């Protein structure tokens, strides 16, 4: 699948949620789903794909997904909306721990991935749980976007989707 397919399907999947009926709910459904839809392919920017256009598409998709996510959060903080209230009600140590864990886990998956970590259900759930520490009301949208990405890859046969990384499977 192409990155634009992952991005758009990730954005569309959370729209089934009942709270995605208000303008704010739709923005956060789009943003969380967009990030979830493209984040599993972050490891591909380090690989030689053989086609410069495909690699450029992956990088542009990452930029789109991350910018939608960050713009939604920044806008919510500017108007002091729901995400701002959740974030500010949390203890400082929990915010810092959540952000650090998300960055470390994501960095590990991107740096040392050979296609076996980022395309697993376990990594999607792990990132979702950590995102729940940072932004409690957006992790469901993220999870739906991520699982949609894995489902599309599974149906297309483009990459192997597993529950856990290959190295942990007993032979």
Range 5-31 average pLDDT: 85
**Rounded to an integer, what distance in angstroms lies between the CA atom of residue 89 and that of residue 106?**
25
pLDDT in tens, 71-95: 888 888 888 887 777 777 878 887 7
pLDDT at res. 102: 83
The answer, yes or no, to whether residue 63 has pLDDT greater than 80, is yes
User: Residues 20-49: pLDDT tens digits?
Assistant: 888 888 888 888 888 888 888 877 655 555
Position 167 scores a pLDDT of 54
What is the full DSSP assignment across 12-52?
A: HGGGGSTTTTSHHHHHHHHHHHHHHHHGGGGGGGGS--S-H
**The predicted structure's pLDDT at residue 51:** 60
Percent of the chain residues topping a pLDDT of 90: 2
Token representation of residue 89 = 């009600």
Instruction: Specify the pLDDT at position 7.
Output: 83
- 34: number of Cβ within 10 Å: 29
Domain positions in the chain are 3-168
Q: State pTM to two decimals.
A: 0.80
Report the chain's mean pLDDT, rounded to a whole number: 78
């Amino acid at each position: 699948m192409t990155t634009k397919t992952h991005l758009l399907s990730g954005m569309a999947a959370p729209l089934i949620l009942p709270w995605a009926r208000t303008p704010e709910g739709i923005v956060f459904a789009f943003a969380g789903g967009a990030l979830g839809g493209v984040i599993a392919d972050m490891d591909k920017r380090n690989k030689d794909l053989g086609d410069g256009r495909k690699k450029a598409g992956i990088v542009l998709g990452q930029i789109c997904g991350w910018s939608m996510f960050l713009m939604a959060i920044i806008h919510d903080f500017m108007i002091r909306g729901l995400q701002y209230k959740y974030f500010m009600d949390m203890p400082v140590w929990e915010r810092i721990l959540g952000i650090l864990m998300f960055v470390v886990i994501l960095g590990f998956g991107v740096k040392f991935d050979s296609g076996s970590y980022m395309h697993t259900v376990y990594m999607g759930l792990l990132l979702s749980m950590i995102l729940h520490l940072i932004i409690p009301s957006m992790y469901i949208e993220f999870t739906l976007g991520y699982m949609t990405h894995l489902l599309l890859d599974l149906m297309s046969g483009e990459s192997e989707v597993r529950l856990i990384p290959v190295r942990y499977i007993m032979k």
